[in-house]
Amino acid sequence: MDGSHKSLTVALAGNPNAGKTTLFNSLTGLKQKIANYPGVTVERKEGPWQLNGKAANLIDLPGLYSLEATSLDEQIARQVIVGEQAGIPKPDVIVAVVDSTNLERNLYLVTQLFEFGIPVVIALTMMDVFEKQKHQIDVEMLSTLLKVPVIPVTAKTARGRNELAKKVIEAIGTKPEIPYAYDAAAENAGPHGKIFARYNFISEVVQDSVWHDDHAKHRVSEKIDRVLTHKFFGLVILVGVLLLVFQAIFSWAQIPMDLLQSAFGGLQDLTRASLPPGILTDLIVDGVIAGVGGVVVFLPQILLLFLFISLLEDSGYMARAAFLMDKLMSRVGLHGKAFLPLMSSFACAIPGIMATRTIESRRDRFATIMVAPFMSCSARLPVYTLMIGAFFTGRYVLGFVSVGALLLVMMYAIGVITAIIAAFVLKRTLLKAPPPPFVMELPPYRVPNLRTVFQNMWTRAGLFLKKAGTVILTLSIILWALMNFPRQSQADIDNAAIEIQKTCNCTPEEAQAKAETEAKSNILQHSVAGRIGHAIEPVIKPLGYDWRIGIGLMSAYAAREVFVSTMSILYSVGKDEGAESESLLAGVRNAKDDNGNLIWTPLLGISTMLFFLFAMQCLSTLAVVRRETNSWRWPLFMLAYMSTLAYVVCLAVYQGGKALGYG
């Protein structure tokens, strides 16, 4: 024992959420001191611990995953362990808190602690949870293999407290043995050789000391995995599963979508018939009902998408998909941990970007953030469906695969491929760094819990409807106003009628009616939105878009689904008052430009889908990127590079398609 200090010093080290603080509180009682380490905001907690009569000062180190000393927490922990932290003597013993439910991950830190030459005693937490999960640990075997004492502890019941104190006393002055072999000079050592040596050792330790009561389940899972994670067949099955999912989304959602469509159409007609004609009726029918209804009809597809995502996640297949993609992702330089944030981005890029916080390296994390919005989020689904529904409904490949489902799979696949290419470029230019290794645990397959699945769908439906009732409603009203103001005054219409009567040789009533019809058709053209659309038309004309679509593209920068609302309002505004509400799909198909030509073609539909896939059109995502990267540089870069990419791709597709005769 080091005699330079009177009392003993014991450091408590462990992963975040391993139960370290609960154990610290249980061992020190209420006599702990909380302060900051000098000069930094990392919390320093210490308190007295009675070790069977001997007083010790227990230091709670910051929660750590490793001791690579790349983060502030790791640097401080390392300084405390080697005795370089001012005011804290070098620890006599380290108590490593290990969460038994995450044994592999927690033991990685322990293997690093062995290398400091300070005796280590392991406190094994969460044993009750682990046993509930039908697993068992042979504590003695674990201790033998790790060559250190291992004590199961339960902070709530004080289980193992005395034994832990006894083992700590016994360990003082001993020298730990590094239980795994690593030869840095070996030819195959490589840059990550030591990391692999630690994980190989951990894997052997866990295999020899942990039993799974659900072993039969694991054996079946292993057999299924031989096929589902196969290099070639695994990928074929993955594509097949995705195709099946989107085929189902399309065919199953059709009936409820048609019903919702008719319901909103009926509501529009009923409202127009019940209310007196005027500006308020126009706002309610063409602004509110058309705008909100246009988005709400896609609820069945959103629900089905989340039904399948939940089923795939709960059954354990999603982890296999991650495993299949990991090889590809590590080849382009993305961290294996990037897969889950990217998968979350299929629902929405915001939780996906927030989920990147689990990636340790800043460069790996930023690369993932920069490519996450390429994953087709649920807000793009209504736009894809609108285009597919308008131009590709009822078309089949090989007699049974619907072109719509195929196009949808392609949109998702193009998003993933673009994300991979973008990450490849970023990791070799702006965010250059070697990819760290990644170890992944595949859970056994199981029957999905229907309650969890439906709960997830319910939550998603709630969020979607909340957005429709707040953000989409607000934007629909503002868009309607932008498309309807400035309006011609009655005096201007009367003057126009007098002018018409002078030239057309018609009755005053006929001239008045003609003036009012002209005024109505001019509303959109001369409205604020119409003027904005006209202003940007020269820029978007090469992509095949006219000023009306320009309004839609601009409005979609608030939220992508607003494009559908805008189209819905746009094609309601220019319509004759007496006409019945036609479906949005027919509105898009039959829309004509100022010369009476059809605006939309299947080629333009595909180009629009690609624009929405590539362009960064979500202000909320940009706000989160700003927050998560702590700088405006990254969100502005994201906006610029994604918008440029969208423009270039759509230009190439539209002009190329036209040259080939598809225009």
Partner 1 sequence: MTFQQIVVLAIIGVAIFFGISKAVAKRKSFSTKTDCGDDCGCGK
Contacts to partner 1 by CB under 8 A: 16, 64-66, 70-71, 73-74, 278-281, 283, 350, 354, 356-362, 365-366, 470-471, 473-475, 477-478, 481, 619-620, 623-624, 627-630
Minimum gap (Å) between residue 356 Cβ and partner 1: 8
CB nearer to partner 1: pick between 14 and 300: 14
How far apart CA 82 and CA 97 sit, in angstroms, is: 19
How far apart CA 532 and CA 615 sit, in angstroms, is: 19
How far apart CA 64 and CA 48 sit, in angstroms, is: 22
CB nearer to partner 1: pick between 124 and 350: 350
Minimum gap (Å) between residue 273 Cβ and partner 1: 17
The count of other CB atoms within 10 Å of the CB of residue 447 is 7
Instruction: Name 148's Cβ contacts closer than 8 Å, sequence gap at least 6.
Output: 114, 119, 120, 121, 122, 171, 176
In degrees rounded to 5, what are phi and psi of residue 11? -100, 140
DSSP letter for each residue of 269-324: HHHHHHSPSSHHHHIIIIIIIHHHHHHHTTHHHHHHHHHHHHHHHHHTHHHHHHHH
Query: Would the CA dihedral through 353, 358, 359, 361 be positive or negative?
Result: positive
CB nearer to partner 1: pick between 237 and 472: 472
Minimum gap (Å) between residue 483 Cβ and partner 1: 12
* Burial class of residue 25 in the structure, from the number of CB atoms within 10 Å of its CB (0-12 exposed, 13-18 middle, 19+ buried): middle
CB nearer to partner 1: pick between 66 and 501: 66
CB nearer to partner 1: pick between 279 and 640: 279
Minimum gap (Å) between residue 639 Cβ and partner 1: 16
CB nearer to partner 1: pick between 218 and 520: 520
Residues in the chain: 663
CB nearer to partner 1: pick between 270 and 280: 280
Minimum gap (Å) between residue 256 Cβ and partner 1: 29
Minimum gap (Å) between residue 275 Cβ and partner 1: 9
Q: Residue 487 in 3-state DSSP?
A: coil
Minimum gap (Å) between residue 487 Cβ and partner 1: 9
DSSP state of 468: I
CB nearer to partner 1: pick between 288 and 410: 288
CB nearer to partner 1: pick between 174 and 474: 474
How far apart CA 476 and CA 288 sit, in angstroms, is: 6
Report cis status (omega within 30 of 0) of the bond before 486. Answer: yes
Minimum gap (Å) between residue 635 Cβ and partner 1: 13
Beta bridge partners of 47: 58
Beta bridge partners of 36: 43
Beta bridge partners of 44: 35
How far apart CA 476 and CA 472 sit, in angstroms, is: 6
CB nearer to partner 1: pick between 126 and 653: 126
Minimum gap (Å) between residue 214 Cβ and partner 1: 27
Minimum gap (Å) between residue 86 Cβ and partner 1: 23
Contact 67, 113 (CB under 8 A): yes
Minimum gap (Å) between residue 654 Cβ and partner 1: 32
CB nearer to partner 1: pick between 166 and 626: 626
- What Cα–Cα distance (Å) separates residue 278 from each residue in 281, 283, 284, 390, 577? 6, 9, 10, 31, 11
CB nearer to partner 1: pick between 58 and 624: 624
Instruction: Name 393's Cβ contacts closer than 8 Å, sequence gap at least 6.
Output: 404, 585
Minimum gap (Å) between residue 502 Cβ and partner 1: 30
Contact 545, 455 (CB under 8 A): no
CB nearer to partner 1: pick between 61 and 64: 64
CB nearer to partner 1: pick between 470 and 507: 470
CB nearer to partner 1: pick between 281 and 315: 281
Minimum gap (Å) between residue 660 Cβ and partner 1: 43
Minimum gap (Å) between residue 257 Cβ and partner 1: 27
DSSP state of 578: T
Contacts 24+ apart (CB under 8 A), 212-221: 212/134, 212/135, 213/134, 213/135, 213/136, 214/134, 214/444, 217/444, 217/445, 217/446, 218/444, 220/444, 220/445, 221/316, 221/442, 221/444, 221/445
In degrees rounded to 5, what are phi and psi of residue 611? -60, -45
Minimum gap (Å) between residue 164 Cβ and partner 1: 28
First to last CA, the chain: 84
CB nearer to partner 1: pick between 362 and 541: 362
Beta bridge partners of 124: 98, 152
Minimum gap (Å) between residue 658 Cβ and partner 1: 38
How far apart CA 626 and CA 256 sit, in angstroms, is: 39
Sheet with 150-152, strands from edge to edge, namely 33-36, 43-51, 54-60, 8-14, 93-99, 120-125, 150-152
| Token duo for residue 230 | 């196969």
